[in-house]
Structures are given as structure tokens and as C-alpha cells.
Amino acid sequence: MKKSLHVAVCGATGAVGREMLKTLAQRNFPAASITALASSRSAGTKVPYGDDEITVKEMTKDSFKGIDLAIFSAGGSASKEFAPYAVASGCVVVDNSSAWRMDDRCPLVVPEVNPEDLEKHNGIIANPNCSTIQMLVALKPLHDAATIKRIVVSTYQAVSGTGKKGLDELETQVRRLFNMQDIETSAYPHQIAFNCLPHIDVFMDNEYTKEEMKMVNETHKMLDPNIRVTATCVRVPVFYGHSESVNIETEKKLTSAQARVLLAQAPGVQVVDNPRANLYPLAVNAAGEDEVFVGRIREDESIENGLNMWIVADNIRKGAALNAVQIAEALLERDLVRVPNPDMFM
Ligand code: NAP
């Protein structure tokens, strides 16, 4: 087993890439070296890694020689273009974009949900969409106990889900509006400050957005293809932390008390559910934390076997960087940092 890896963080200057470097350092990931890659725009700039700074290099197809593991968060087109070269160099890729998620050759993994799928990787492991990750970490123990038949989810997603440009747009709009100045919109089609947009990613032929269909398709790939899923994804003026209202219908009856016990024992979950004391999960409390927080657990009185709950997590952390680093840790533990067929994606 490789005890120490040469690691590249691709998209190191972005919202997720910076969190990735922070997470690798915080968790003492056994890295023999860390290479920070981004586009030519930020080559030569520095990014923090623990107490040090690393100089960013431009990502090219030759960047992966001598690298064992590359964690990508550089957007879908950069992943499509460069991940095959990484694999061809013998480097295992963990990819945060949507580029490889539904590719049959690539397992889509949340370590608390389907770590066994790592065993069949071919060089690229996909990290799911942030909204799907937090939902499935919470629903996995309930599915194991009572078999979920249907999920109805509405999301309240932070602007950091759009990266640096989303964070900048909310901050600038709030400041300008308080100063009675006109605002501009570029990251979103409408004003995001003091507003909610029922529109994340592009609209599809079936009238859903691509973000909504990611939640459907990724749940089928990772948890169970038989679960019926319907989603409404909404962008809200919150900087960090996605919140979700989730309704499930199960085959077997689960009381809210039973669900609370199952969730309290589940890896990666923290139950915050004492409404009488005004205690329930909040985005501002989840920001910067590793756990998926679940609360407002209650039986759906409109159907026989149903539960409602409120699920919150830091979209940049468990929704992206932490999940990717946990995948890397699981690969290392299972001695799976190797590429079976370097030419598979060329
Ligand atoms: P971001 O803040 O806009 O950062 C994008 C990063 O990608 C920057 O480091 C940028 O480098 C780099 N990049 C862009 N084009 C590149 C190219 N052609 N070659 C090399 N590097 C390139 O975006 P983000 O929020 O971190 O998201 C990055 C990826 O993670 C996206 O695929 C996104 O879908 C995914 N993701 C994001 C979240 C989230 O909550 N934000 C959650 C899950 C997954 P420069 O500085 O040089 O421009």
C-alpha cells in the first residue's frame, strides 16, 4: 500500500479548491507533495496549504507526471479535457464536476453511502452533486431500515454553490442596494440579494433544471434505482450551507422517534431536533462543519408511512471538498490508488 502520495489539486484557486487544500491539511492527509493547478489566469499566484503557501501552476496535459492522485474542481470542461491525461499518466482522479458522474466507467461515491463501489474504479471516481451528497448521507440509514419508495425534495441552496462568482455577486448586490445604487446581474439571471430563484443550472426538455435531474439520477446511481425522486432546487441569498426540505415515503413504517435513533447512530450525521428550544439545523451553524445536520423530523400525516425532515450541510465542505478527501482516504485504506487501464478514457 502506498503510504504517502503525490497529490495535485486542480482548480486550487476556486471556492472548492481552496477548501480542498484546507481539508487535506486539517486531516493530515499523507501527502508526499501537493501541486496546486489552475488556469493560466492564476499561474504564479499563491494559495494557502496549512501554514505554508503553494505557488499555482497552469494545468496542462503534462501536469500529472509523477502524481499519484489528482482531485479536480476546475469545472466540467477542464475535467473532460484533462482527467483522461491524468489517468493516462497513471494518476487516479477524484472529480468534483458533473463531467463523469453518470459515466458507467466511473463510480459515483459518498463514503457513508456506497464505499464498496470504489472497488470497481477505472481511474476516475466522481464526487456527487452537493445537494445529493447531504440528502443521501441522511437517507441511507432510513432506506436500510424501511426501504424508501419516494422522495420529494426542495432545496434552499447557498450562492457558494456557484463558486467565487456567486459569492461576489451576493456580496456586491447587498452592499450596493444598501447604498441605494443600481445593481448588475451576471452569475444569475435575476437579482439574488433578498430574493429566491427557482432556477439552478440550465432548464432541460422535461421542464426540470439540470440540478434537479442530478438529484434524481445520482440518487438512482448511488442508493437505489427503484426510488421515485422529484426535486425543486432554489438558489437563496445565503453565503454557505445548503438546506433541504425532504419528504420520504417508506415501505415499512418508521416513527419519528425511530428515525431519530437511526440518524443519531449514522456516520456523518448529527441530529439537531429540539423545536421547543428552537433547535433545528441552520445554514449559518453548518458552515465550516463536517457533519450533515438533520432536524424537524416528523411523521407525514397525509400518508401511511411518511416522514418529513430538514437537512443542512456546508456545500463546499461535505458537499464537495470533504467528500472528495474522504474518497481519497478510502482509496488509500483499500489500496486502490492505482490505474488498471491507463488508456481507458483517451
Ligand atoms: P470556482 O470558484 O469558479 O473555481 C474554479 C476553479 O477552476 C478555479 O481554480 C479556476 O482557476 C479553475 N479553472 C477553470 N477553468 C480551468 C481550466 N481550463 N484549467 C485549469 N483550471 C481551471 O468554482 P468552484 O465552486 O470551486 O467549483 C469548481 C467545480 O466544483 C465545478 O465543477 C463545480 O460544479 C464543482 N462543485 C462545486 C460545489 C460548490 O458548492 N461550489 C460543490 C460541488 C461541486 P482560475 O483561478 O485560474 O480561473
**What separation in Å is there between the alpha carbon of 227 and the centre of ligand 1?**
31
**What separation in Å is there between the alpha carbon of 17 and the centre of ligand 1?**
7
What is the pLDDT confidence band of residue 78, given thresholds at 50, 70 and 90?
very high
The per-residue pLDDT for range 209-243, each reduced to its tens digit, is 999 999 999 999 999 999 999 999 999 999 999 99
149-168 mean pLDDT: 97
The full set of domain ranges for the chain reads 5-127+321-333, 131-315
Residue 222 has a CB neighbour count (10 Å cut-off) of 21
Coarse DSSP helix, strand, coil percentages of the chain, rounded to the nearest 5 percent: 35, 25, 40
pLDDT exceeds cutoff 80 at 9? yes
What is the pLDDT confidence band of residue 25, given thresholds at 50, 70 and 90?
very high
- Catalytic one of 130, 143, 199, 220: 130
- The architecture (CATH level 2) of 131-315 comes to 2-Layer Sandwich (3.30)
- Residue 130 is among the residues annotated as catalytic for this protein: yes
**Are the folds of 5-127+321-333 and 131-315 the same?**
no
What H or E segment, with its residue span, contains residue 271?
A: strand 269-271
The candidate with the shortest Cα–Cα distance to 132, out of 108, 115, 148, is 108
Cα 321 to Cα 117: distance, rounded to the nearest angstrom: 19
Q: Does 164 contact ligand 1 (Cβ within 6 A)?
A: yes
pLDDT, mean over the chain: 97
315-328 mean pLDDT: 98
pLDDT given for residue 2 in this prediction: 57
- Residue 220 is among the residues annotated as catalytic for this protein: no
Q: Does 128 contact ligand 1 (Cβ within 6 A)?
A: no
Closest CA to ligand 1's atom 41: 161
Strand partners, 258: none
pLDDT given for residue 4 in this prediction: 86
What nine digits make up the cell of 9? 489539486
pLDDT given for residue 52 in this prediction: 95
Query: Which of 10, 16, 71, 134 is the pocket-test mutation for ligand 1 (most atoms within 8 Å of CB)?
Result: 16
Cα 82 to Cα 78: distance, rounded to the nearest angstrom: 6
Pick the CATH number of 5-127+321-333 from 3.40.50.720, 1.10.3720.10, 3.40.1160.10, 3.40.50.1820: 3.40.50.720
The per-residue pLDDT for range 251-271, each reduced to its tens digit, is 999 999 999 999 999 999 999
pTM of the model: 0.97
Q: Does 199 contact ligand 1 (Cβ within 6 A)?
A: no
